[in-house]
Structure 1
Amino acid sequence: MRLDARALENNFVRLEPFTAELEPEVRAALDCDPEAWNGMVSAAYGPHFDGWWSAALRAMETGSRIAYAVRRKADGAVVGTSSLYEIRPEHRRCEVGSTFYRPEARGGPVNPACKRLLLGHAFDAGAVRVEIITDALNAGSAAAIRKLGARDEGVLRKHKITWTGRVRDTAQFAVLDEDWPEVRRRLDERLAKFG
């Protein structure tokens, strides 16, 4: 499995790997909704952005992550971020996550369009497993992951510590290479409804 850091694009979004030029737009997109960051391992709004941005760039340099700015094609605005991370070529697996969208970009085509691109990129590169995880307390996120067609694999107890210091249980989901054709079909059908 070899994942390259290149832009990914469909009718709804363009995913652009982080570069120094994107920093102001990403900062502006993430500097909102502090409550939504509470269940995340790290925060990227306001005073937390610089450390988060630097960590993302370092992970990209090591090849363990490809962090993307999510640009909504309808208006050209950067509305959030998502990543392929925990990239493990030796096991042909990675995770999709570190995802945050501005409130007005939630609930429409942005998330399924991003997941379609990220999952497609991973499986096209030879992945046999793509994991998607969320805070076990985040029922909305878990429902969205199930709607994608990812399989529920249970809860990892005391799996991570959030930036607020809370010990977090993590709900784990995965899409395997044999699941991907059906997941892809379902995502394509959902996106077709948005025109």
Structure 2
Amino acid sequence: MKPAPMNLAVEPLTNRFVRLEPFADGLMAEVQAALDCDQASWDIMVGAAYGENFAGWWRSALTAMENGTRIAYAVRRLSDGVVVGTSSLYEIRPEHRRCEIGSTFYRPEARGGAVNPAAKRLLLAHAFDGGAIRVEIITDAINPGSQAAIRKLGARDEGILRKHKITWKGRIRDTAQFAVLDEDWPMVRDRLDARLAAFA
């Protein structure tokens, strides 16, 4: 029997901590305000979205959404209603039933609490409920903090992709690759739920 196709709807995703709102023109100013900070954190990224870089980054995200290869979300913290960052389901490949979670950035004060695990819980559930069998999460090999956060989710370490990308500053980047498969998802889901219960 042929497996069910992957179909990721473009819709808001909400739990007790965050609301993920698909990019739309009305969100532009709030997203820009959230990303226009912490220039040092942007320096190692493939693309930058602060200051004068924001407009092109925003247009690129909307174009990818129109093409069906990305769902970009504003991450709204429900405790105060503030947009504190962004994350995406991208590299969406329905024919292979896989996608990535990435293009994630949070304001410094939103890091280390419930926001990121709550957002990852929603994104992973949306992907697997939509028929994904593989969700990839990648990060710069020189960013041990990001790698530790991905491992904490329960994603499996799949090694280093050498000379995989070039950052917007021109550095040739090695990429640390992780993935959650559909058979991993129940364990990862339970681990995330346990973490989030501590914040309730």
Task: Return the alpha-carbon distance in structure 2 between the equivalents of residues 161 and 121 of structure 1.
Answer: 29
1:158 maps to which of 131, 140, 163: 163
2:24 maps to which of 19, 27, 30: 19
- 1:73 deviates by 0.2
Amino acid at match of 1:48: N
Q: Secondary structure at the match of 1:191?
A: helix
Task: Return the alpha-carbon distance in structure 1 between the equivalents of residues 140 and 105 of structure 2.
Answer: 13
List runs of 5+ in structure 1 lacking aligned partners. Answer: none
**Equivalent residue number for residue 110 of structure 2:** 105
Identity in percent: 76
- TM-score (norm. length: structure 2): 0.97
Number of aligned residue pairs: 195
Q: Secondary structure at the match of 1:81?
A: strand
- 1:166 deviates by 0.5
**Equivalent residue number for residue 44 of structure 1:** 49
Q: Secondary structure at the match of 1:5?
A: coil
Q: How does 1:22-171 map to 2 (within 5 A)?
A: 22-171=27-176
- 1:40 deviates by 1.1
- 1:160 deviates by 0.3
1:2 maps to which of 4, 7, 11: 7
Task: Return the alpha-carbon distance in structure 1 between the equivalents of residues 53 and 174 of structure 2.
Answer: 23
- TM-score (norm. length: structure 1): 1.00
Following TM superposition, the consecutive aligned residue runs of length 4 or more in structure 1 with deviations greater than 4 angstroms are none
Amino acid at match of 2:90: Y
Q: Secondary structure at the match of 2:191?
A: helix
